[in-house]
Amino acid sequence: MTVLQNLPRKKTEPVQSSMVIAGARPHDDQTEALAASIFRDFKSDFRYKEYVLGCINCGECTTGCPAARFYNFSPREMLQIAYQDDPLVLLDAMQEKIWACCQCYTCNMRCRFGNDIAGIISVMRELAVKNGLESAKEVLKPYSRILLVVMTKGTQVSPDMIQPDFFADWGPFAVARQTDIKTLRKAIPVDVLQVTDSSWEVSMQTSLELFQIYKEAGVVDMLKSIDPDLVEMIEDIVDEWREEFEEMKEKYGIGV
Amino acid sequence: MTNPKFLVIGGGPSGLSAAQDIAEAGGDAILVEKETFLGGTPKKLHYSLLAPDMKPVEEVLDPLISSVENSSVRRLLGASVKSVEKKGGRFNVTIESNGTSVSESVDAVIVATGFSHWDPHKKYEYAYGVYPDVIDFKDFEKMLSDEKIVRPSNGQQPKRIAWLLCVGSRDKQVGKFYCCRLGCAVSIKQAMEVRRIHPEIDTYVYYMDIRTYGFWEDKLYWKSMEEYGVKYIRGRIGSINKGEDGRLIAMAEDTILQRPSEVPFDMVILATGMEASEGTLEASKLLGLEIEEHGFIKPLESDSMPVSTAVPGVYVCGTATGPKAIPDSITEGSAAAMKALNYVRRRTIKVPAGA
């Protein structure tokens, strides 16, 4: 019966077969429920129809993909997974593979079918964060300080915050550049205030409004599943500011 | 009653076929050809053998050309139609031929203005025009008909050649959504031709689908493997780079092995798609014909009336309405001739409605 080995597996076999192919850990009912819920959210995302059109498997996306050269990652595979209807395979891809993408959008430039592959990968990433997947936690760990500043002050990351310790994959050039960042920053033609410890001052009111937007838009909830401590920290800071802000309003008789 | 007069624009396979059939049926045909010779694109670009019977293009087209030349067809070479005016059910046309202007009044017009090969410069990642060894398959066709297969960069015989299918076809990025229908067959035929003359040259075809429809499947696709040892890689070349030894490096994903592949080649041949020729677009403007979504002339009904147009008395055949093989173009030329003859007959003889 060796001849039949290459035929597709029978439907009666557990879904695990596809998971084994995709290299996943064995799953339980909970995993299956999570996969089903992510799958539902994914397929009903308003961007899905716009980004995933179809695929003629030409492989041009993978040919041009820088990540595919170094990792076990293929944009064509991601699109195929996005296009097909296997929740467990989708979940499995979201554990690790989607984080290999460097969002350079070369696949979009190449795709002769007009798919937005990098775009659909970012939708998968969003869902990974929203559902608090372990992989997402792992990937976002180095960014907690950045998130803290962005969410409290609304500003970009200040250059001093990006330290080589957090980025194991930084090459020697990136590390070398980091050492003299004050001088390098002076060469930037636009006005960056020539500082490296902060970007620009955002008023307290703006910060509070921004946080409100994050909250309403679901960003805070999304982060909670990834890093509850960070969210707690941010909320403490914002609460403190809010009190301070109310006191200021009272003191100057604004908006009473 | 004067003999009905027909204008056939274009002297390629379909135009020749239309003019020949009109003359045979006793009509007066004027054949206008832009070039100074008959035979159209296959002759102009020096096509070599024709798929799938591996017959030289001369063997297929020369009998048609000489039959037209020995008939009552009035041939205007190096000529083009400058203006068309529809008056009293007839077409008053001005034809410029070798600097002189000719005015004619015809009963019906047959448009057989053909196609042109898509320009692969627009697909920058294939480096056509950058590396001389990346060539278009129409250029390679000329090499084959000259029986001189050499690398344009150094004049030496290549050891390994790749064909890349669907360049400028089936590609939203360049606005060419359709299949050129012939790229697969012609590329496979070229690979077979190479292997026949030089069995020592390795030939690889990069494909996403092989569309050798009908009898071409066994006569080309299967035969190329069984008898000629042509190899196939399922995946498209996404970019072409140059290696240190001056050879080309074809970067692709082998979609069956599911891994990136980088193979050095001495030559890469791009199977470019078909698009409506300039002459086709000019003719559509002159005669007020509609252009369909792919840029070709729109037939009245693409399924039931493929050679009729929305303008009464104007018929269209060959690659002016879309990608087509030579036998199909010849058949359509005859069909257009028949429709045009019947159109004139209906107008001169009173035929009961519905006949």
Nearest to A58 among B236, B239, B251 (CB): B236
What pLDDT score does A13 carry?
Answer: 46
Question: What's the confidence (pLDDT) of residue A15?
Answer: 45
Q: Which two tokens stand for residue A93?
A: 């891809």
| Closest to A195 measured CA to CA, from A208, A181, A209 | A181
Chain A within 8 Å of B98 (Cβ-Cβ)? no
CB < 8 Å to B254, chain A: 59
Shortest Cα distance, chain A CAs vs residue B126, angstroms = 12
Helix axes A228-252, A219-226, angle to 10 degrees: 140
Distance CA A88, CA A82 (A): 12
Calculate the alpha carbon distances from A80 to A54, A55, A70 in Å: 8, 7, 20
Confidence of residue B264 (pLDDT cuts 50, 70, 90): very high
Residue-range domain boundaries for chain B = 5-116+275-348, 119-272
Reported CATH class of domain B119-272: alpha beta
B255/A76 CB distance under 8 A: yes
Report the chain B residue with the minimal C-alpha distance to residue A80. Answer: B255
Does B252 contact chain A (CB < 8 Å)?
A: yes
Q: Are B230 and B198 in contact (CB under 8 A)?
A: no
Instruction: Give domain B5-116+275-348's CATH architecture.
Output: 3-Layer(bba) Sandwich (3.50)
Is residue A122's pLDDT more than 70?
yes
Q: Which of A112, A23, A124 is nearest to A71 (CA)?
A: A23
Select the residue of B125, B172, B236 nearest A59 (Cβ to Cβ).
B236
CB contact under 8 A, B239 and A57: no
Contacts of A69 in chain B (CB under 8 A): 260
In this structure, are residues B101 and B95 in contact, taking their beta carbons and an 8 Å threshold?
Answer: yes
Tell me: pLDDT of A12 over 70.
no
Q: Phi then psi for B162, rounded to 5 degrees?
A: -115, 145
For residue A200, what pLDDT is reported? 64
3-state DSSP of chain B: CCCCEEEEECCCHHHHHHHHHHHHCCCEEEEECCCCCCCHHHHHCCCCEECCCCEEHHHHHHHHHHHHHCCCCEEECCEEEEEEEEECCEEEEEEEECCEEEEEEECEEEECCCEEECCHHHCHHHCECCECCEEEHHHHHHHHHCCCCCCCCCCCCCCEEEEEEEECCCEHHHCECCCCCCHHHHHHHHHHHHHHHCCCCEEEEEECCCCCCCCHHHHHHHHHHHCCCCEEEECCEEEEEECCCCCEEEEEEECCCCEEEEEEECEEEEEECEEECHHHHHHHHHHCCCECCCCCECCCECCCECCECCCCCEEECHHHHCCCCHHHHHHHHHHHHHHHHHHHHHHHCCCCCCC
As a whole number, mean pLDDT of residues A187-213 equals: 77
Q: In the structure encoding, which two tokens stand for residue A37, read together? A: 């819920």
Q: Work out the average pLDDT over B10-20.
A: 97
Grade residue A2 by pLDDT with cuts at 50, 70 and 90: very low
Instruction: State mean pLDDT over A94-106.
Output: 92
- pLDDT tens for B39-55 read 999 999 999 999 889 99
Mean pLDDT lowest among A184-188, A206-210, B64-68: A184-188
Q: What is the pLDDT of residue A157?
A: 64
> How far apart, in whole angstroms, are the C-alpha atoms of residue A43 and residue A21?
23
| Residue B31 backbone dihedrals phi, psi, to 5 degrees | -105, 115
> CA nearest B260 in A: which residue?
A63
> What is the ipTM metric for this complex?
0.84
- Burial grade of B345 (CB within 10 A; 0-12, 13-18, 19 or more): middle
pLDDT band at A201 (very low <50, low <70, confident <90, very high): low
Nearest to B253 among A56, A63, A113 (CB): A63
Look at B66 and A23; give whichever has higher pLDDT: B66
Q: The whole model's pTM is what?
A: 0.81
How high is the pLDDT of residue A3?
41
Residue A16 has pLDDT above 60, yes or no: no
Q: What mean pLDDT do residues B159-173 have?
A: 96
Q: Domains of chain A (ranges plus CATH)?
A: 16-131 (1.10.1060.10), 141-252 (no CATH)
Chain B positions in Cβ-Cβ contact with residue A77 (cut-off 8 Å)? 258
- Say how many Å lie between the first and final Cα of chain B, rounded: 23
Q: How far apart are CA B254 and CA A58, in angstroms?
A: 9
User: Could you read off the pLDDT of A215-246 as tens digits, one per residue?
Assistant: 999 889 888 888 889 999 999 999 999 999 99
Question: Contacts of residue B125 in chain A, CB cutoff 8 Å?
Answer: 64, 110
**Burial class, A162, CB count within 10 angstroms (exposed 0-12 / middle 13-18 / buried 19+):** middle
Tell me which chain A residues have a C-beta less than 8 angstroms from the C-beta of B208: 56-59
Contact B251 A74 (CB under 8 A): no
Burial zone of B143 (CB within 10 Å; 0-12 exposed, 13-18 middle, 19+ buried): buried
Q: Which residue has the higher pLDDT, B57 or A194?
A: B57
pLDDT digits (tens, 9 = 90+) for B234-263: 999 999 999 989 999 999 999 998 888 999
CA distance B333 to B348: 23
Q: Do B255 and A57 touch (CB under 8 A)?
A: yes
pLDDT over threshold 60, residue A22: no
* Residue B235 touches chain A, beta carbons under 8 Å: yes
Distance between CA atoms of residues A126 and A103, nearest Å: 13
**Residues of chain A neighbouring B238 (CB-CB closer than 8 A):** 59-64, 110
Q: Give residue B71's region: left, alpha or beta (phi > 0; psi -120 to 50).
A: beta
Partners of residue B253 in chain A, C-beta under 8 Å: 59-60, 62-63, 68, 74, 76
